[in-house]
Structure 1
Amino acid sequence: MEKALIVIDYTYDFVADDGRLTCGKPGQDIAPKITSLIEETIEAGELVVFTNDIHFEGDSYHPETKLFPPHNIAGTAGRELYGSVKDAYEKYASVCLSLDKTRYSAFAGTNLHQLLQERGIREIALVGVCTDICVLHTAVDAYNLGYKLLIYKDGVASFNEAGHEWALGHFTGTLGAEVI
């Protein structure tokens, strides 16, 4: 096993029409691609990792508190995976990893790097939301840790279209990622 698919923040609060910090339709439109990639990755015997943002009600010390409305609060429906991605996770949960993260990057404050190293992972594919926030910061950390990067253009979305487009260019131009 040398490859892993990392699904970033595909939760109700980030994707549903009434989510607290939603990408809305752009986020919903990528569900078929993400679901298909989860199935293909599992069938190939490769690793799928779900990394989900977690916040706590009333946490005034978290830096995002000043930037965004409360979202992905522990114990709320907003933190649940969304739509067909949730269905795929439930189907394959026994062979997937799931990590909570408290910062934009899936590597910050988690044991993701260790888990990938233990499994001999050298290449990671990123999908999820938001392209210009959590996907971007995860990609930067992955680059700095020496991983080969693949970003599925039709598997990422943001509530900020200009930021989304900028991040896609940054992935290739600055991080040497393959964007397909």
Structure 2
Amino acid sequence: MLMAEALIIVDYTNDFVADNGALTAGKPAQAIAARITALAEEFSARGDFVYLPTDIHVAGDPYHPETKLFPPHNQEHTWGREFYGPLAGWVAAHSGDAKVTAFPKRRYSSFAGTPLDQWLRERRITSVHIVGVCTDICVLHTAIDAYNLGYDITIHSDACATFNPAGSEFALNHFQSVLGATVI
């Protein structure tokens, strides 16, 4: 029996990608839009799962550690939290597809405080492919948790972006040399 795989598209929203996003990675993040959407379509077409964990914040939340670190971003019910570019249309077109799941996350990792690990285990998924933004923040923390939970990890470097080229270089090296991930 073939095991299903999952594509995890981390935080690909207007606030992180659009020119006028509140915490944008800008042109590098915009340049991966077509690749992310193509991967989503590829995974969906072969019957695999696509998960879209998406940062969610409340303005001025004194209890959330990011409030002190970053400007307000990805606030609930805002344009900034909507998916960016062609991914928005792809997600809308797959509304109701049981194998495409968007869900909120409140920490860098897509696993922290979410049902992602449970969903993957219920579906007998042992291999995850991770893409999105930011390579050295939320993608990195998601990959670390995936490693700690025992998943095989593939990072698509042509579908990841961040604010800081040095951070990206560090993360891509860390995925391979410390987490044993396959970096494509």
TM-score (normalised: structure 1): 0.98
Query: Which residue pairs with 1:135 in the alignment?
Result: 139
User: How far off its partner does 1:99 sit?
Assistant: 1.2
Aligned residues: 180
User: How far off its partner does 1:9 sit?
Assistant: 0.2
Query: Which residue pairs with 1:53 in the alignment?
Result: 55
SS of the residue 1:94 aligns to: coil
> Could you list the runs of 5+ residues in structure 1 that have no partner in the other structure?
none
Query: Which residue pairs with 1:89 in the alignment?
Result: 91
Query: Which residue pairs with 2:73 in the alignment?
Result: 71
Question: After superposition, where does 1:1-180 map in structure 2 within 5 Å?
Answer: 1-95=3-97, 96-180=100-184
TM-score (normalised: structure 2): 0.96
**Aligned residue type for 1:107:** F
Percent identical? 57
> Could you list the runs of 5+ residues in structure 2 that have no partner in the other structure?
none
Q: Distance in 2 between matches of 1:68 and 1:105?
A: 16
Deviations 1:111-170 (A, max 9, x none): 100001001100000010000000000000000000000000100000111101110000
User: How far off its partner does 1:75 sit?
Assistant: 1.4
Q: Distance in 2 between matches of 1:94 and 1:37?
A: 19
User: How far off its partner does 1:94 sit?
Assistant: 2.0
SS of the residue 1:175 aligns to: coil
Q: Distance in 2 between matches of 1:65 and 1:122?
A: 34
Q: Distance in 2 between matches of 1:34 and 1:63?
A: 29
**Aligned residue type for 2:75:** I
Q: Distance in 2 between matches of 1:58 and 1:143?
A: 32
User: How far off its partner does 1:2 sit?
Assistant: 2.2
**What is the alpha-carbon root mean square deviation over aligned residues?**
0.7
Runs (4+) of structure 1 exceeding 3 A deviation are none
